[in-house]
């Protein structure tokens, strides 16, 4: 059966996030903005109500099954990014094309208005990522900078909003950030799963000394925002709770393709030097 590809809709298809539309459009405090620019991240920003979290959780469940109709619309889908069945990190790009709540989340003003404030202009969608760790045997997310993976778009004017759908802490494998690492150069890719510390091979002695990660202790539906060079990672989930999260990746409108290959698997090429736009990269917010 053909699946309704929600990427054809460049506006919300439900009212799930309508309540956010009338809220203040300058929502981040000075302290949040300062933290983002000085440390490379800010956190504890409520972007979802409990009802919205519940709907996202409901729609997430069938998506985890590779037999689900619409599965072919994922740009990438990894049941486990690590090779170890006792260290599971499910990771997928493209949920917004398949499930209405994940689609409409992109237009949630509680997310796009802060993203615009931090980027300093209009916000364009880059891609989404699901990261799910089962209880007890949830794997780690290795330390990395997002832009190491994104040089196929430029200039670097991106950011990530990371939103847990469960209350998260150190024990359940929450995301940790290395403060001020966004001021370091871009590092080579050293992997997303498996050896969490693989990045240490490419860090200088000074960087290793300054490597003091801080855990994001967040309630479900609270977000953190991070800079594309901020080193982040997440330890294994050893708790008895699942750890479900979605990352929304945005860029400033005007960001260009830096390749003649498709920017994401299964989509048409945007030639090198041309701006990201169109069905797969909707403009989400203009301040």
Ligand X SMILES: O=C(O)CCC(=O)C(=O)O
In the chain, what are the helix, strand and coil shares in percent, each to the nearest 5? 25, 25, 50
What is the smallest separation between the CB atom of 129 and ligand X, expressed in angstroms?
A: 6
Q: Comparing C-alpha atoms, which of 177, 176, 164 is closest to residue 241? A: 164
Nearer to ligand X, 117 or 160 (CB): 160
**Which pair of tokens denotes residue 135?**
């209880």
Nearer to ligand X, 32 or 133 (CB): 133
When asked if residue 131 is in the footprint of ligand X (CB under 6 A), the reply is: yes
Q: Which residue has the tokens 């709540």?
A: 101
Nearer to ligand X, 87 or 234 (CB): 234
Residue 212, Ramachandran bin (φ over 0: left; ψ between -120 and 50: alpha; else beta): beta
CA distance 46 to 16: 16
Residue 70, Ramachandran bin (φ over 0: left; ψ between -120 and 50: alpha; else beta): left
CA distance 69 to 192: 27
Nearer to ligand X, 145 or 278 (CB): 145
When asked if residue 160 is in the footprint of ligand X (CB under 6 A), the reply is: yes
Residues 183-212 that bind ligand X (CB under 6 A): none
CA distance 28 to 95: 27
Nearer to ligand X, 238 or 277 (CB): 238
Residue among 118, 216, 247, 263 that touches ligand X (CB under 6 A) = 247
What is the smallest separation between the CB atom of 147 and ligand X, expressed in angstroms?
A: 10
Separation in Å, CA 23 to CA 26, 114, 237: 9, 12, 35
Nearer to ligand X, 117 or 145 (CB): 145
Environment class of residue 226 by beta-carbon count within 10 Å: exposed (0-12), middle (13-18) or buried (19+)? Answer: buried
Residue among 128, 146, 166, 222 that touches ligand X (CB under 6 A) = 146
Residue among 175, 216, 231, 263 that touches ligand X (CB under 6 A) = 175
Nearer to ligand X, 87 or 160 (CB): 160
When asked if residue 141 is in the footprint of ligand X (CB under 6 A), the reply is: yes
Residues 64-103, one symbol each (x = binds ligand X by CB under 6 A, - = not), give: ----------------------------------------
When asked if residue 162 is in the footprint of ligand X (CB under 6 A), the reply is: yes
What is the smallest separation between the CB atom of 21 and ligand X, expressed in angstroms?
A: 26
Environment class of residue 49 by beta-carbon count within 10 Å: exposed (0-12), middle (13-18) or buried (19+)? Answer: middle
Return residues touching ligand X (CB under 6 A): 129, 131, 141, 146, 160, 162, 175, 232, 234, 245, 247
């Amino acid at each position: 059966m053909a699946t309704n590809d929600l990427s054809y809709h460049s506006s919300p298809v439900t009212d799930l996030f309508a309540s956010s539309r009338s809220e203040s459009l300058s929502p981040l405090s000075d302290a949040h903005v300062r933290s983002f620019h000085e440390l490379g991240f800010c956190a504890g920003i409520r972007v979802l109500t409990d009802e919205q979290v519940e709907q996202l959780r409901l729609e997430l469940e069938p998506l985890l099954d590779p037999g689900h109709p619409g599965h072919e619309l994922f740009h990438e889908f990894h049941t486990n990014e690590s090779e170890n069945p006792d260290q599971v990190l499910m990771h997928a790009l493209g949920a917004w094309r398949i499930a209405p709540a994940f689609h409409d989340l992109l237009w949630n003003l509680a997310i796009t208005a802060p993203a615009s404030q931090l980027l300093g202009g209009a916000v364009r969608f880059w891609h989404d990522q699901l990261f799910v760790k089962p209880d007890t045997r949830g794997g780690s997310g290795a330390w990395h900078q997002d832009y190491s993976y994104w040089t196929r778009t430029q200039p670097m004017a991106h950011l990530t909003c990371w939103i847990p759908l469960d209350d998260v802490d150190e024990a359940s494998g929450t995301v940790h950030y290395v403060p001020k690492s966004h001021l370091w150069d871009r590092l080579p890719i050293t992997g997303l799963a498996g050896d969490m510390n693989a990045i240490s091979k490419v860090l200088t002695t000074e960087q290793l000394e300054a490597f003091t990660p801080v855990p994001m202790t967040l309630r479900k539906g609270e977000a953190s925002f991070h800079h594309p060079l901020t080193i982040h990672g997440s330890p294994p989930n050893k708790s008895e709770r699942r750890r479900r999260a979605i990352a929304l990746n945005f860029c400033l409108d005007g960001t260009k393709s830096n390749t003649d290959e498709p920017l994401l698997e299964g989509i048409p090429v945007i030639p090198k030097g041309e701006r990201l736009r169109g069905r797969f990269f909707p403009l989400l917010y203009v301040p």
